């Protein structure tokens, strides 16, 4: 008899994130702003009021108040749940909807690769419906699978990673109107796009919105994410979390970030402008096919030269991401927005590569 679930025995270990470690890390959609350096004095001041030897702290209700204020759209405290990054929130959703071994979630593809990782960890199957070549999708075909007997959850990533495109508001709304199944809307990059369905939470009892502090708030290493949904859903999701699931120190840092949110929102606005500059400069390189993006990264393709370009950038101390696993993104690469100097170095390095061909 196995000590563990049979489906775990049949699966391999979680795949490590395979990216080169270079001076210019433009591969994981991270921010160039170090939040600790930006708010260290305010954080240390807030920490003076914290007792780390205690389970409970006054930080928790204050963080909730600030997060409610940040989200807006009439959201209240019982509409929020937070944890260790958006990934933790995804895992909680998958764990909560899993009914039996036949249960599965549905995602469009290509999309965030760790939907598979966390659904498998929760014992939830997952199926994928491919985007069309123009990254559109058939909403009725999606609904047919979503409304089938064993489908427990629909996932929509908006803006989508790794393509960078926005899904149609009308199609998202149509799906919400034509299913009673939970729909998880992944808004990890919403600060860059300005698009959110948080104002529709009150209208749809089956809508779950997942967000992160890793991107716009520059805190990938901090691990803080949250869910927005109706109160009855938050109550059920809380049942699959450990009671003290987020450290008081992390909560204090996030609270301090929200107290200084204008600094981070200003940086996000600058990142959006830098992304647009980077996109336009890359479009001038005739050998590249560059995809429009509503995130902090740009996906592009150099066709048969993509692999060689990837290696050339590594030799020039630039790490980007190979996202070509799905046929729709065959030979595609993805570059995260860096500082203006990093972006310029990246573009010049790409140009020099093609000049040598």
Write down the pLDDT at residue 16: 65
What sign does the dihedral 200-205-207-210 (CA atoms) show?
A: positive
Name the phi and psi angles at 226, rounded to 5: -150, 160
Distance CA 145, CA 199 (A): 27
Residue 12's pLDDT is 75
Whole-number Å distance between alpha carbons of 57 and 46? 12
Token pair for 216: 């716009």
Residue 24 DSSP symbol: E
**Predicted pLDDT at 31:** 95
CA–CA dist 271, 189 (Å, integer) = 12
Rounded Cα gap, residues 277 and 293, in angstroms? 12
CB burial of residue 84 (10 Å; 0-12, 13-18, 19+): middle
CA-based nearest residue to 162, from 111, 122, 197, 209: 111
Q: Are 312 and 146 in contact (CB under 8 A)?
A: no
Task: Give how far the C-alpha of residue 176 lies from the chain's centroid of Cα atoms, to the nearest Å.
Answer: 21
**Domains present along the chain, CATH in parentheses:** 20-33+262-355 (3.90.1150.10), 36-260 (3.40.640.10)
Q: Are 26 and 318 contacting, i.e. CB atoms less than 8 angstroms apart? A: yes
Give the up-direction half-sphere exposure of residue 237: CA atoms within 13 A in the CB hemisphere.
Answer: 30
CB atoms within 10 A of CB 21: 8
Q: Which residues contact 39 (CB under 8 A, 6 or more apart)?
A: 256, 257, 260, 263
Q: Which residues of the chain fall below pLDDT 50?
A: none
């Amino acid at each position: 008899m196995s000590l563990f679930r049979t489906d775990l025995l049949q699966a391999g270990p979680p795949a490590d994130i395979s990216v080169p470690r270079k001076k210019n890390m433009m591969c994981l959609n991270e921010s160039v702003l170090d939040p600790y350096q930006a708010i260290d004095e305010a954080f240390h001041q807030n920490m003076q009021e914290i007792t780390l030897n205690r389970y409970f702290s006054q930080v928790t209700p204050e963080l909730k108040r600030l997060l409610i204020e940040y989200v807006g759209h009439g959201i209240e405290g019982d509409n929020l749940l937070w944890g260790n990054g958006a990934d933790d929130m995804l895992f909680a959703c998958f764990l909560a909807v899993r009914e039996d071994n036949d249960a599965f979630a549905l995602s469009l593809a290509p999309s965030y690769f760790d939907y598979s990782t966390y659904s498998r960890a929760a014992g939830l199957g997952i199926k994928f419906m491919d985007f069309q070549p123009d990254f559109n999708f058939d909403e009725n075909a999606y609904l047919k699978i979503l409304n089938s007997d064993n489908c427990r959850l629909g996932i929509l990533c908006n803006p989508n990673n790794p393509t960078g495109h926005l899904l149609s508001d009308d199609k998202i709304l149509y799906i919400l109107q034509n299913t009673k199944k939970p729909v998880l809307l992944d808004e990890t990059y919403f600060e860059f796009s300005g698009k959110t369905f948080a104002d529709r939470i009150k209208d749809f009892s089956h809508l779950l919105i997942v967000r992160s502090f890793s991107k716009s708030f520059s805190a990938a290493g901090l691990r803080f994410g949250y869910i927005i949904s109706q109160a009855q859903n938050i109550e059920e999701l809380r049942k699959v979390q450990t009671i003290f699931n987020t450290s008081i120190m992390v909560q204090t840092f996030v609270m301090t970030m929200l107290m200084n949110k204008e600094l981070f929102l200003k940086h996000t606005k600058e990142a959006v402008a830098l992304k647009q500059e980077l996109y336009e400069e890359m479009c001038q390189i005739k050998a590249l096919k560059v995809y429009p993006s509503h995130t902090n990264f740009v996906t592009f393709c150099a066709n048969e030269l993509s692999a060689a370009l990837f290696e050339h950038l590594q030799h020039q101390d630039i790490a980007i991401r190979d996202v070509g696993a799905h046929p729709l993104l065959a030979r595609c690469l993805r570059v995260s927005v860096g500082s203006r100097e990093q972006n310029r170095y990246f573009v010049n390095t790409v140009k020099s590569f093609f000049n040598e061909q």
